């Protein structure tokens, strides 16, 4: 029970990676607030975890809205007391060459992937500072480390998450708040359903492991970073469960 007596907020909890992290956190004793824009699917995840005996709550949220994020933190504190652990798993992806990409689409991906991380991190910091303890885990991507054709906007947003993680970790580590990131490689989830099938097939075939990951294989990295003492000396790091796509 590595997270016993801890409270976790997971954004993007209706998605494959977010839901897998929520399940593993519940199995390890955490109280969990599930947050996502897709409330119908979020309720499916909530029901499954409640049936498994978890102390779980769910709230619909637009993580690109400053007001929504502030209200979310208030709701967590009222329902569960505090936010010990924040996992930023909400995000968006699309595929387009730079020349054909609209400014609206560039901004949409930046808002969903980078602005949202800034807003949620900023919102939880006062509470974590009051308690002198916190763990923040930001879900980035291996594409943010190496780039990819037709994904310049997505790569830029995820590289921004990695740089933001490093900078924030230097601000708050001595206050007991550790900030780290996870940069998964391709993962078999509905997150990628809007991408071209040939893109997914080509990416998987080029991985040294020869296959994409499944969400439960990513969740363990989040548990490591969120737990103590196992995560106590990870500061500004980016873990890479990426099937060998990026080797650092």
Question: What ranges do the domains of the chain cover?
Answer: 7-239
Q: How confident is the model at residue 229 (pLDDT cuts 50, 70, 90)?
A: very high
Taking residue 95's Cβ as centre, other Cβ atoms within 10 Å add up to 16
Domain over 7-239 is classified CATH 3.40.50.720: yes
**Who has greater pLDDT, 186 or 195?**
186
Whether the full predicted model's pTM is greater than 0.85, yes or no, is: yes
Checking if the pLDDT of 94 tops 80, the result is: yes
Distance (Å) of CA 197 to CA 101, 192, 212, 214, 239? 20, 9, 14, 17, 27
Percent pLDDT > 90 in the chain is 92
Write the pLDDT tens digit of every residue in 120-160: 999 999 999 999 999 999 999 999 999 999 999 999 999 99
Q: Among this protein's residues, is 226 annotated catalytic?
A: no
Burial per residue of 136-169, b for 16 or more beta-carbon CB atoms within 10 angstroms, e otherwise: bbbbbbbbbbeebebbbbbbbbbbbbbebbbebb
Answer with the residue of higher pLDDT: 204 or 166: 166
Kindly give, in sequence order, each residue whose CB lies less than 8 Å from that of residue 67, ignoring residues fewer than 6 positions away: none
DSSP the chain: -TTTT-EEEEETTTSHHHHHHHHHHHHTT-EEEEEES-HHHHHHHHHHHHHTT--EEEEE--TT-HHHHHHHHHHHHHHHS--SEEEE---------TTT--HHHHHHHHIIIIIHHHHHHHHHHHHHHHHT-EEEEEE--THHHH--TT-HHHHHHHHHHHHHHHHHHHHHGGGTEEEEEE----B-SGGGTTS-HHHHHHHHHTSTTSS-B-HHHHHHHHHHHHSTTTTTT--S-EE--STTSS--
pLDDT of residue 42 exceeding 80: yes
Q: What is the mean pLDDT of residues 20-43?
A: 98
Give the confidence band of 241 by pLDDT, cuts at 50, 70, 90. very high
Catalytic residue among 25, 106, 151, 154: 154
Give 33's Cβ-side CA count (13 Å radius). 28
Give the pLDDT band of residue 30 (cuts 50, 70, 90): very high
Q: Taking 90 as the threshold, does the pLDDT of residue 190 lie above it?
A: no
| 56: β partners | 32
Q: What is the mean pLDDT of residues 169-197?
A: 91
Average pLDDT, the chain: 96
pLDDT at 84 over 90: yes
pLDDT interval class at 203 (50, 70, 90) = confident
């Amino acid at each position: 029970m590595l997270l016993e007596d801890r409270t976790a907020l997971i954004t993007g909890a209706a998605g494959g990676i977010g839901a897998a992290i929520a399940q593993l956190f519940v199995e390890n004793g955490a109280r969990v607030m599930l947050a996502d824009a897709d409330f119908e699917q979020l309720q499916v995840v909530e029901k499954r975890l409640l049936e498994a005996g978890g102390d779980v709550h769910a709230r619909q949220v637009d993580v690109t809205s400053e007001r929504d994020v502030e209200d979310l933190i208030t709701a967590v504190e009222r329902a569960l007391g505090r936010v010990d652990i924040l996992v930023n798993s909400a995000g968006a992806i699309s595929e387009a060459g730079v020349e054909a990409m609209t400014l609206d689409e560039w901004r949409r991906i930046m808002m969903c992937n980078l602005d949202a991380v800034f807003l949620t991190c900023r919102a939880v910091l006062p509470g974590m500072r009051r308690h002198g303890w916190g763990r923040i885990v930001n879900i980035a991507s291996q594409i943010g480390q190496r780039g990819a054709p037709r994904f310049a906007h997505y790569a830029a947003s995820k590289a921004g998450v990695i740089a933001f993680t490093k900078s924030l970790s230097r601000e708050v580590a001595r206050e007991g708040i550790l900030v780290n990131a996870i940069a998964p490689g391709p993962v078999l989830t509905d997150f990628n359903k809007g991408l071209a099938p040939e893109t997914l097939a080509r990416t998987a075939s080029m991985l040294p492991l020869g296959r994409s990951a499944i969400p439960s294989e990513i969740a363990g990295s989040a548990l490591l970073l969120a737990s103590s003492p196992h995560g106590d000396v990870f500061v500004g790091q980016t873990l890479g469960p990426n099937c060998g796509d990026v080797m650092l």
